[in-house]
Amino acid sequence: MRDKLRRRYQVQKEVIRNGHFEGDIALSELARLGELLYPGEADRPDRKIAVEFEFLRNECEIPMIAGRLQTSLELECQRCLQPLETPMKLDFRLMIDASDELLRDSSVDTLYSEDGFIDVFEVVEDELILAIPLVALHENSDCNEHWPDSSAQSEAAVKDNPFAVLQQLKTTD
């Protein structure tokens, strides 16, 4: 059975009862993520992140949170500065308060509780921040007609300025 999602959880209690939760988080609740999106996007009331997760113990008896989230975010295309709708769907799996020793031998990351409590909104926000592309670009490379990417222009630029090559390396993905 799944319970309604809330923000804070007492880890030990939820691990013992194998708490399983599901619900939506409003994008407007995630301020750090909002700063990385298309301007104004984070304030739209219809933007939500669907989340479900459970608390469990791994084979070393360490508490864990495991779940998945799904949403669609509007990023800013770095070529034309227009919005770029980006569907996101990802699984997450984290130990809670694992020791450094355990972390060394594990491919799974840990999060640290605060007096035994974790904030699931922060977990979801961190996962999304890590997952969104560093540089968002429309698939259609012609989305900005003023973008100087025709080969003729690039060659001319290289001839005029050898550092343009470096510049291109920096700006292309």
Q: Does 75 bind Zn ion (CB under 5 A)?
A: no
Amino acid, single-letter form, for residue 144: N
- Which stretch, 16-24, 70-78, 108-116, 125-133, contacts Zn ion (CB under 5 A)? 70-78
CA distance linking residue 86 with residue 39, whole number of Å: 15
Choose among 98, 86, 90, 99: nearest CA to 124: 90
Structure tokens at 110: 């840990």
| Smallest separation (angstroms) from Zn ion to the CB of 80 | 3
Strands (E), the chain: 3-4, 8-10, 20-26, 48-57, 63-76, 83-96, 110-111, 117-119
- Among the listed residues 33, 42, 77, 123, the single contact to Zn ion using CB under 5 A: 77
Q: Does 78 bind Zn ion (CB under 5 A)?
A: no
| Smallest separation (angstroms) from Zn ion to the CB of 157 | 21
Q: How many residues bind Zn ion (CB under 5 A)?
A: 5
Q: Does 76 bind Zn ion (CB under 5 A)?
A: no
Q: Does 80 bind Zn ion (CB under 5 A)?
A: yes
- Which stretch, 11-19, 88-96, 106-114, 143-151, contacts Zn ion (CB under 5 A)? 143-151
- Which stretch, 5-13, 50-58, 63-71, 76-84, contacts Zn ion (CB under 5 A)? 76-84
Helices (H), 60-119: 100-104
Length of the chain: 173
- Which stretch, 52-60, 127-135, 142-150, 162-170, contacts Zn ion (CB under 5 A)? 142-150
CA distance linking residue 46 with residue 104, whole number of Å: 41
**Site of interaction with Zn ion (CB under 5 A):** 77, 79-80, 138, 143
